[in-house]
Structure 1
Amino acid sequence: MPPKIDVIRMRCSDGKMVSVEAEVASQSLTLRPLIEEGCDQNIIPIPNVTSDVLSNIFVFCKKHSGAGSSNQKRLKEFDKKFLNVDTNTLYFLLMGAHYLEVKELLNLIYQKVADLVRGKSPEVIRAMFGIENDFTPEEEAAIRNEHPWAFQ
């Protein structure tokens, strides 16, 4: 049986180190097997996530670890404030949560993005997320004709 570890250490894409309690980090489906194998002596590389983003993800995980049903109202308030960020930050949180497979955070971010784009035109969504329109006017007209329901 592997030794129980209390804290794991990670080196982020910006070269900085982040340490977090194993219980908190185990909310990550990517990190959980490493924790269960007892990898406390090694530094885990997290090449796709900066230390700021990783730290924020673990703030979320810590708040959600062991959260009972009695804390649901406060947890929802925390979640709302946690995701009240600009779209750039939201993008990096999404990418970090995806890389680490933090399902609860991913679901909240997906819902936030859905709420942001609901009822908006493609042009507004492109502007909101800095997406360049790579369709020619003819291609866009063809798509609008094929799928008019998507543009209502």
Structure 2
Amino acid sequence: MVDIHQILDSDDSKVNFIKGLIYLSKAEELEKGIKGINMEELGYLNNAMVALNIDELKRKQLESLIYLNSIELDISFKSKRQAVFFLREGIQICCIDGQYSQAEKDLVYRMASVLGINKSMVANLEEWVSEGIEWSNRGEKFLELEG
């Protein structure tokens, strides 16, 4: 298993990773004219910031991006590996609320283009995330069985 700190090996890559996740989590809300993000996405972001050891001050600065009325495509990564990792996690945050809206999908593909990742890689990542969600949902059904 790969250590997240080996992939996101600098403060800049960690900040860009979280900024990108925030932008992706806002895509659907902005389209609907809603400020902020839903609780599932907020929980995912907070867990990611803790896992990345982002200090409290930087966390507050990043969290303030949640309430902006626009999305910037001002993220970059040092390697293709970092960009693919970001997109994989980004697609997961888009799907965490049980839906992957067209606005989220469009933003994923725009970000992929900016990061130099081709559409077939994004489609593969989308399929992997979908399969993972289905797998997890099947596992949840075991908990519903009566013994």
Larger Rg: 1
Q: TM over 0.5, yes or no?
A: no
Tell me the TM-score normalized by structure 2.
0.29
Q: Which has the higher strand share?
A: 1
The structure showing larger relative contact order (alpha-carbon pairs under 8 Å, at least 6 residues apart) is: 2
Name the structure with the higher helix share: 2
